[in-house]
Amino acid sequence: MLIRRPADIRPSEITSETNYLNRREFIRAGAIAGGSLLAPAALAAVIPEQRRARLDGVAKSPFSTDETPNSYDDITTYNNFYEFGTGKGDPAVYARDFEPRPWTIAVEGHAEKTGIFDFDDFMKPFDLEERIYRLRCVEAWSMVIPWVGVPLADVVKHFLPTSKAKYVAFETLHDPSRMPGQRRRVLDWPYREGLTIAEATNPLTILAVGLYGEVMPNQNGAPIRLVVPWKYGFKSIKSIVRIRFAERRPKTSWNMATPREYGFYANVNPDVDHPRWSQARERRIGAGLFASKQPTLMFNGYGEHVAHLYKGLDLRRNF
């Protein structure tokens, strides 16, 4: 799938990264200051082990969309998670007995802090936020999901990457005994994804650990997954066990499987079709089979926040 820069992004919308980050940090600081009058600040991310347990100390994020979220049932029964099957309903069935705890995350590569961390220790330095984000999938369907997570920028900063770290690479758990979909050679397991360091530290990118104020369901990527709201859903890798700070662009699963269809960047672009279907319109899950499709938005509607990341990049070649 080739992606090019659309003509409808005005130069004024492609702000410099410095101006953009300063403006967003001002908004973020104001929101936090205002929120402190209403609720105590979160001290650390504590993630219970019980399924559907409530997450405490969750702050509201100024980055949320004002669109109505999909229902919990929509979000947890219509999933792409090939480790548990290729059908949209397979993960809810075959991930039912998956035990996501205990869990460890390896941090590797060009960073001052590296090692293997217990999930609870990994999460302790960070505060939880709820962010209502759109999720757009390549197959022309979309949802609005109230994720709970931590800014990936905070995680990156905590581990102190060196100047050699140009990318952040991620891997999913590889355990066919627990993930039956991995017994089939649908992809070259384990599932792998990656972002540039600028994408990883953009304020919109999060590591999600829950949704609807509860612990992340198995079928949605328990216990921790990536969420990159301006990219197609396959970039949001689930059940992460490894994070690596890399100097060279990492290999990514769908680009390895079919490079003509799936590039490294995978930015949502309605103006360029996937080789097998149009990207111009999308169907909101839960709207009903006979509901009209809606136009797909460039960068999934987040162009104001991320267009500057691709200034000067030929998106026909870097799709």
Helix (H, G, I), strand (E, B) or coil at 146: strand
Letter for the amino acid at 72? Y
Range list of β-strands (E), 152-231: 167-172, 192-196, 206-211, 214-215, 225-227
Q: What's the CATH code, domain 11-310? A: 3.90.420.10
Q: What string of DSSP letters covers 243-300?
A: EEEESSPPP-HHHHH-TTT--SS-B--TTS-BTTB--SEEEETTS-TTSPPEEPPGGG
- Please report the pLDDT score of residue 3 as a whole number: 40
- Looking up tokens 């209502």, which residue turns up? 132
Helix (H, G, I), strand (E, B) or coil at 233: helix
- Please report the pLDDT score of residue 319 as a whole number: 87
- Please report the pLDDT score of residue 56 as a whole number: 96
| Domain boundary assignment for the chain | 11-310
- What is the DSSP-derived secondary structure letter of residue 202? S
- Please report the pLDDT score of residue 43 as a whole number: 56
The secondary element (H helix, E strand) that includes residue 22 is: helix 17-35
Q: What is the pLDDT along the chain (319 residues), one digit of tens a residue?
A: 444 434 444 333 333 444 434 434 433 444 433 443 333 444 578 999 999 999 999 999 999 999 999 999 999 999 999 999 999 999 999 999 999 999 999 999 999 999 999 999 999 999 999 999 999 999 999 999 999 999 999 999 999 999 999 999 999 999 999 999 999 999 999 999 999 999 999 999 999 999 999 999 999 999 999 999 999 999 999 999 999 999 999 999 999 999 999 999 999 999 888 889 899 999 999 987 778 899 999 999 999 999 999 999 887 788 8
- Please report the pLDDT score of residue 29 as a whole number: 41
User: What is the reported pTM?
Assistant: 0.86
Q: Which of 152, 122, 180 is nearest to 236 (CA)?
A: 152
Give every CB contact of residue 151 below 8 A, 6+ residues apart in sequence.
126, 129, 203, 205, 206
Return d(Cα 258, Cα 160) in angstroms, integer: 34
Q: Which of 202, 199, 219 is nearest to 145 (CA)?
A: 219
Number of other CB atoms surrounding residue 301 within 10 Å = 17
Structure tokens at 122: 């990994």
Helices (H) and strands (E) in the chain, counts: 8, 13
- Taking only Cα atoms into account, the Rg of the chain, rounded to an integer number of angstroms, comes to 19
